[in-house]
Structure 1
Amino acid sequence: MTDQDALRDDIAFMRSLAEEGRNGPLLGGAIMMAGGLLFGLASLVLYLGLASGMSIDSRIELVWPISGVLFFVALFILLRRMPRAKGALARGVGVGWSAAGWTMFTLVVALCVMAVRLDDTKLTAVFPPAILALYGCSWFIAAGAARRSWLTSVTVGSFVMAVVTAWFALQPIDYLIYAISLFVLVAAPGFVLTRQARKAAA
């Protein structure tokens, strides 16, 4: 193979990636939608409980592990039904989302261990800004790799709301803001991507 042939093949490969990103569906939208809905509802329940006078140290905090178990059940089902990612771009975006998801899980477990070890439930206030920042990272990868300009707005919104939830930390309203952020910036985009994937498969 000559250098000219190699260059032609490289250009063809880059063109195929560009076309894949422009026209191919992004998988995993249903997982985003499930996570946004379940954890958004959990945050909303927590807000309503705290707003009614319940203590953060009460059993209302069980909404988090309960929502976590439900999410892993949904994740297991959705992964079994999801088609295999085709193409380097789709696989790359999938790996990025998986990495962010495992990072969120590890961060939550680590902070819970710290809260128990130090007997300080205030450490859980880190959850909303940290999780939203990681969602922003996930959307940043998807927007750039797949050339979805509308996801850039979702990315910026996730980063902005991470700072907003940090400002209202340790106030009941923070969990309402977090719930709305998860519905708008995670569940809603996940729904849109799910619809797009279904149309592409039809």
Structure 2
Amino acid sequence: MTRDQVQSVHDDIAYMKALAQEGRQAPLVGGRILVTAGLVFGAAAIIHYAINSGLLDGAPVAYLVLWGSAMLIFFGALIVEIRRCESKPGAQSAGNRAASAGWMGAGLGIFVMSLAMGVIGWKTQSSAVAAVFPSLIFALYGSGWAVSATMSGQKWQWYLAAGCWIATPMITFLIGSPALWLGYAPGLFLFAFVPGLILMRQEPTETV
């Protein structure tokens, strides 16, 4: 190997190292998306509990309207926030792109699985499948936090990932009781709303 070739290899290694360092140093953006998810779906879970427990009157179709409305509100806010994040400094860093891809995968997984569970409920004429939904959310949130923690180097996010995965089987002990949805709401607060606020505080304020 010639001297020029050796130098080229060293330059490539230095470039890859710089990319990795950039991914760890750039602050993560998109905290408002998590805050919105925690607020919107947390509120929907509390309303679901109120209907399920008899505190509010509602026909079975009320659940479909409730969660359908929550999804529409969230997706509307998501579109606005994605456009806002694109102008943030560091938004195109390797770490932000990877974390964004991880959360996008988790979000799409939640969406398509909610559609699948809706079809299963319709085909079986049973609402029992909906009881699996909180566990599904926590499991996929755990995956999202694991990717984010790996790419950002922020160890506190690993605690969130572990908490989500612990909550995944634990909340199943509430299946069969309206308390399932009352337990789901604070989980969204802990694993989406609060860390979303932390990420918002870390975001750069300037646009580019």
Q: Deviations over 1:161-188 (max 9, x none)?
A: 1111122123111111110000111111
For 1:44, the equivalent position in structure 2 comes to: 46
Separation in structure 1 between the aligned mates of residue 196 and residue 73 of structure 2, nearest angstrom = 17
- Range with greater deviation from structure 2 (163-172 or 67-76): 163-172
Give the 5 Å matches for 1:1-202: 2-52=4-54, 58-61=60-63, 62-83=65-86, 85-198=91-204
Contact in 2 for aligned 1:57/1:121 (Cα 8 Å): no
Name the structure with the higher helix share.
1
Q: Deviations over 1:125-162 (max 9, x none)?
A: 11100111000000000001111101011111111111
Q: Unaligned 5+ residue runs, structure 2? A: none
Q: How many residues align?
A: 202
Contact in 2 for aligned 1:27/1:193 (Cα 8 Å): yes
TM-score w.r.t. length of structure 2: 0.88
Q: Deviations over 1:19-72 (max 9, x none)?
A: 223321112211111111111110011112223366896244132111111111
Letter in 2 for 1:133: A
- Range with greater deviation from structure 2 (49-58 or 8-17): 49-58
- Range with greater deviation from structure 2 (94-103 or 50-59): 50-59
After TM superposition, which residue ranges in structure 1, 4 or more long, deviate above 4 angstroms?
53-57, 199-202
Separation in structure 1 between the aligned mates of residue 110 and residue 179 of structure 2, nearest angstrom = 22
Q: Deviations over 1:97-128 (max 9, x none)?
A: 11111111000011101100111111111110
- Range with greater deviation from structure 2 (44-53 or 68-77): 44-53
Distance change (3 Å), C-alpha of 1:35 and 1:104? same
Letter in 1 for 2:79: F
Root-mean-square deviation (CA), in Å?
Answer: 2.2
Contact in 2 for aligned 1:25/1:200 (Cα 8 Å): no
TM-score w.r.t. length of structure 1: 0.90
Separation in structure 1 between the aligned mates of residue 58 and residue 172 of structure 2, nearest angstrom = 17
Separation in structure 2 between the aligned mates of residue 173 and residue 132 of structure 1, nearest angstrom = 16
Separation in structure 2 between the aligned mates of residue 200 and residue 193 of structure 1, nearest angstrom = 15
- Percent identical among aligned pairs is 31
Q: Of the two, which has the highest radius of gyration? A: 2
Contact in 1 for aligned 2:40/2:74 (Cα 8 Å): yes
